[in-house]
């Protein structure tokens, strides 16, 4: 892959970088698939909330990467000992198979474009060793009236955008993927889902949403 600039919405250098992120990491799900000796990439790490959490759980080789400079600066200010890196281009600087596990928490929702989602997963598949684990947490397409209204409102403004895309009053642009589409996206990029959990997560603006977590293994046959 030639150097491609990561398409990061301006929100993540502004109001988005002041938020508190909320998807909870399930230590049991992680431990069932990823040993503490694993080399872990926290992709779209924000201010390093989960990079730090993994350290507390005994994972000693964890690197966080995010395309927002403001987010990485905040993370290093709050926790200077974390290995957090600003990375605004793909490919990542890592060799093929450099990691045993990748966290992808609430990141695809910030990447509304199909092609950009595909490029992200293709790159994560490259840096994850065959058999390695991708732990994804997402808010999938919701069915409640508030969310349906904003999906429909966005369709009227941008009829060619995928259904489930919406904006927030503070300037964010997001997309909720149907759960089946998320599973298909993983499958298309060489990941086999090993385990799934559902639950709820507080949203960035204080609501509660259904949340889907998947532990997927990179297939050895590519
Ligand atoms: C909701 S935050 C989640 C941060 C972190 N994963 C957590 O759960 O604490 C989403 C993060 O994705 C990053 N992001 C936005 N667009 C991205 C892209 N195209 N590729 C990778 N990360 C992106 C943002 O800068 C932000 O830090």
Asked whether residue 101 is assigned to any structural domain, the reply reads: yes
pLDDT tens digits for 101-159? 999 999 999 999 999 999 999 999 999 999 999 999 999 999 999 999 999 999 999 99
- Of 6-10, 22-26, 72-76, 90-94, which range is least confident? 6-10
Q: Are 121 and 185 in contact (CB under 8 A)?
A: yes
- Chain position carrying tokens 């250098």: 13
Give domain status of residue 118, yes or no: yes
Q: Which of 2-6, 52-56, 172-176 has the lowest mean pLDDT?
A: 2-6
Residue 153 Cα to ligand 1 midpoint, Å, equals: 24
Q: 189 in ligand 1 pocket by Cβ < 6 Å? A: no
What is the residue range of 19's domain?
A: 4-140+178-217
Q: Is a pLDDT exceeding 70 seen at residue 1? A: no
Residue of 47, 66, 69, 76 to test ligand 1 pocket, by largest number of atoms within 8 Å of CB: 66
Q: Is residue 172 part of a domain?
A: no
Q: How far is the CA of 103 from the centre of ligand 1 (A)?
A: 11
Whether 205 shows a pLDDT value over 90: the answer reads no
CA distance 52 to 64: 9
pLDDT in tens, 63-93: 999 999 999 999 999 999 999 999 999 999 9
**Quick one: CA torsion of 157, 161, 165, 167, rounded to 10 degrees?**
-40
User: At 18, which CATH number?
Assistant: 3.40.50.150
Is the Cβ atom of 124 under 6 angstroms away from ligand 1? no
> How confident is residue 3, by pLDDT bands cut at 50, 70 and 90?
confident
Asked if residue 165 belongs to a domain, the reply is no
Q: How many domains does the chain have?
A: 1
pLDDT of residue 192: 98
Q: Is 150 helix (H, G, I), strand (E, B) or coil?
A: helix
For residue 204, what pLDDT is reported?
86
165: CB partners within 8 A, 6+ apart: 112, 151, 154, 158, 173, 174, 175
Residue 61 belongs to a domain: yes
Tell me whether residue 148 is in a domain: no
**Residue 90: what pLDDT?**
96
Answer yes or no: is the C-beta of 76 below 6 A from any ligand 1 atom.
Answer: no
Residue 151 lies in a domain: no
pLDDT at 7: 83
User: What would the mean pLDDT of 211-218 be, rounded to a whole number?
Assistant: 98
């Amino acid at each position: 892959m030639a150097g491609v600039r990561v398409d990061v919405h301006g929100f993540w250098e502004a109001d988005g970088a002041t938020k508190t992120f909320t998807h909870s990491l399930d230590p049991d799900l992680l431990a069932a698939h990823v040993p503490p000796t694993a080399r872990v990439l926290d992709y779209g790490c924000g201010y390093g909330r989960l990079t730090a959490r993994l350290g507390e759980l005994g994972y000693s080789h964890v690197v966080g990467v995010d395309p927002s400079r403001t987010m990485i600066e905040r993370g290093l200010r709050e926790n200077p000992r974390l290995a957090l890196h600003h990375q605004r281009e793909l490919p990542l600087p890592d060799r093929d198979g450099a990691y045993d596990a990748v966290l992808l928490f609430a990141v695809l929702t910030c990447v509304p474009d199909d092609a950009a989602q595909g490029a992200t997963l293709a790159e994560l598949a490259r840096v994850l060793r065959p058999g390695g684990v991708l732990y994804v947490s997402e808010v999938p397409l919701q069915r409640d009236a508030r969310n349906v209204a904003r999906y429909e409102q966005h369709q009227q403004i941008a009829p060619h955008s995928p259904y489930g895309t919406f904006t927030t009053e503070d300037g964010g642009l997001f997309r909720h993927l149907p759960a089946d589409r998320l599973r298909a996206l993983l499958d298309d990029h060489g990941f086999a889902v090993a385990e799934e959990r559902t639950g709820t997560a507080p949203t960035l603006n204080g609501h509660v949403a259904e949340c889907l977590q998947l532990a997927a293994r990179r297939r050895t046959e590519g």
